[in-house]
Chains A and B, each alone.
Chain A
């Protein structure tokens, strides 16, 4: 149980386009999901906390208009990277939270912006 999926696993796009990444909790409902960004050889960086039915809470330094987060249902949160640029190329990981059990991480999405 407690499986989190992400789609797509890899995406390559041209600079200036927008990319949507989906995070799904497959066998449980998650009122809270998290979006992380992984820089090479560095620790995860929390980008935002996504709460079902309300606006996401962004970490300091993360552009809200750049990284749009929608958590429209208890099993799906989406991260849209708008007008992507090469510096947005990274590994994005989501996690879904189950109270008292912790966070369950998705497999990640590798974004490459050309």
Chain B
């Protein structure tokens, strides 16, 4: 079954500290993975997708097929990074599977 797991519901770090939001997936095919972010009182928005291999707002995520992971990382967290982060898996028919989300709080 296709599944996305975000093991941490809450994650709290201090400003300037590194942050890693974990995402593991279960899928037998070639995955296409995304990270979405929702800032307070704003709509959900795409943060990055693995196929573009880009860095958005200092965040990166590397697909590790061996570990079936797509962890989101940032070397120095900022207070404005506080938000809900959702990892998502896109299936070949364009259906999406979302993780439960991780609430990141960056403390001053």
Contact = CB atoms under 8 A, between A and B. Distances in A.
B27 to A, nearest CB: 14
Interface in A76-102: 91, 93, 95, 101-102
Interface of A: 2, 34, 36, 38, 40-41, 43-44, 46, 91, 93, 95, 101-105, 107-108, 110
Contacts of B36: 43-44
A102 B84 contact: yes
Contacts of A38: 94-96
A91 B95 contact: yes
Contact of A103 (B34, B45, B101): B101
Interface of B: 9, 34, 36, 38, 43-46, 84, 86, 90, 93-98, 100-101, 103
A91 B44 contact: no
Contacts, number: 47
Contact of A104 (B90, B94, B100, B103): B100
Main secondary structure of the interface of B (DSSP, over half): strand
A111 to B, nearest CB: 11
A91 B94 contact: yes
Contacts of B96: 38, 44, 91, 93, 108
A72 B33 CA distance: 34
A102 B103 contact: yes
